Structure 1
């Protein structure tokens, strides 16, 4: 979906009751920006009877059962204007795989059509706030930033203020020509002595020795990876979240003006794989919404600290 230009996503479970069949995700951005959302279902199989024909049939069945019933219907994140069903399959002991796509049919225009009605204009710049909150709730959950997740949940359903209402510490690091922010709590507490706390991040000597120690023990090797977020994407969203927190969600805007990025690591175009000065390739994937998975995040050994206050925004 990143390759097709979609940026924002939400779980499609909101479309039906728990036991009813439904697709996986709703997407916004790209060609439907400001017009609605699209629905996507993916299915994979690893079986001896996997063939191009069986995989194509599975894509059509999944579309008919889990996608088509919800196309041209409302959702909490916008009108569903299109749908996809992707199926792939592979046979044990062989290389390669079969891939098939079923999607909503787009009728061909008539040769002598009457003048078309006025085009539906986008409803405004940016992304709808509910979709942005759903997207970044998933992102910060992957990053291990539970405090941010708790505040997003509070905005969606105000009640008791989250128990941990203090500042959230982020590690700032460079990678492939960009700066990223990652949650220190996603790695350090489980690995370091019980006396650790985020104040140590203010000491560059401590950071250097801690990272060197963890790298030596294999915790930060290339096979681990670390979910982080591009710095402007992270700061823009969290500062917008601060504005909503200050008004207890009452002044929540309809849309948020958030940055998006060209994806990297999905074999999309010549620029999809960055290279270091020495010619070696970076090992990472950058999504359009700013989320990134770094395969070797600690190669530069250059780290800083930034802190976000739920009611004051980022320091500095």
Structure 2
């Protein structure tokens, strides 16, 4: 299980480096018993043409070598990726595929990476692969296909602890909408970190002592926030930890939450074909140029920042709270600054 998770993480980093920003689970391509790739991606050179598959493989054992990793990527590609090229998915036709294998030998420094992908024989041949530099400005202007944007941000808000947002996404995607989720506002902390503003779900803050104090001081005299504070700031733990937390870049979070409110409008309750959502250059991975504000000491911060706006803040207590953001499924987004 651990090796599989590390392999999945290495695959996602690799796909982000290639420019693929939007992802979904590939189980939709076959039954659970049939071998299939792990992820579906959109963006990058596939933007406007279809989606790509990515199979992840992780291996940690005494027998792991560069050759076994290379063979694993080739075999997994042939078995779990290639059969689905040209197939239709809920997110678009599959036009390209990858298998990323990652691993190392136990008690041996270093690691191995093997990548197999669909061969591109000639530019424009979308049945065999994605042509280089295939992104058209028209495709970029159209935005992100709504189904895969919802799948991506469902995973993101789940990681952030934003379960109420997840519930609304699930309700919207479910054909049976008889019982809607709680309509009360969802509150996020706005945190300034590494030259950007990030949104952090309040349930993710219970173990951060300074954040509990800041929230309590700011909202102590506000009756409407007391029930939320009692839940979010309950002292579950008294000792500090070095755990990080997932967060969402503020402009990305606002753009998605506004789009979600629009889709939840009782007059429509439907998906638009595309959503206009921002994409970012990854940061914090070492081999990818960090995209932070000028003059920001990015090397002093411990974090990872993905193309869709999701971030993992390794030391969030270094951040500076600047306000709160309230999202309502009925009324949309309200942003409040702390004075």
Tell me which stretches of 4 or more aligned residues in structure 1 moved more than 4 Å: 119-124, 198-201, 213-216, 272-280
RMSD value, Cα: 3.1
What SS does the aligned partner of 1:7 have?
A: strand
User: How many residues of Structure 1 are paired with residues of Structure 2 in the alignment?
Assistant: 295
Distance 2:177 2:59 in 1: 43
Q: 1:199 offset after TM fit, Å?
A: 8.2
SS at structure 2 position matched to 1:149: helix
Per-residue CA distance 1:16-67 (angstroms, 9 max, x = gap)? 0011111110000011111101000110111222122221111111001110
Distance 1:4 1:34 in 2: 16
Between Structure 1 and Structure 2, the one with more helix by share is 2
Deviation string, structure 1 residues 213-261 (Cα, Å, up to 9, x no partner)? 9997214x3xx00101000100110011001111365342100000011
Q: Does 1:25 align with 2:39?
A: yes
TM-score of the superposed pair, with normalisation by structure 1 = 0.84
Unaligned 5+ runs, structure 1: 110-118
Would you say 1:312 and 2:331 are equivalent positions?
yes
For the residues of structure 2 that align with 1:251 and 1:163, how far apart are their CA atoms? 17
Do the aligned partners of 1:3 and 1:268 also contact (CA within 8 Å) in 2?
A: no
- Of 172, 177, 188 in structure 2, the residue corresponding to residue 170 of structure 1 is 188
Matched, 1:218 2:243: no
TM-score, with structure 2 as normaliser:
0.78
Report matched runs for 1:127-142 at 5 Å: 127-142=144-159
What's 1:148 paired with?
Answer: 165
What secondary structure, in the 3-state scheme, does the structure 2 residue paired with 1:20 have?
coil
**Which stretch shows the higher mean deviation, 69-78 or 120-129?**
120-129
More relative contact order in 1 or in 2 (CA 8 Å, sep 6+)? 1
The 1-side partners of 2:275 and 2:77 are apart by: 32
Q: Which has the greater radius of gyration?
A: 1
Alignment of 1:23-102 (within 5 A): 23-102=37-116
1:10 equivalent in structure 2: 24
Alignment of 1:100-139 (within 5 A): 100-108=114-122, 125-139=142-156
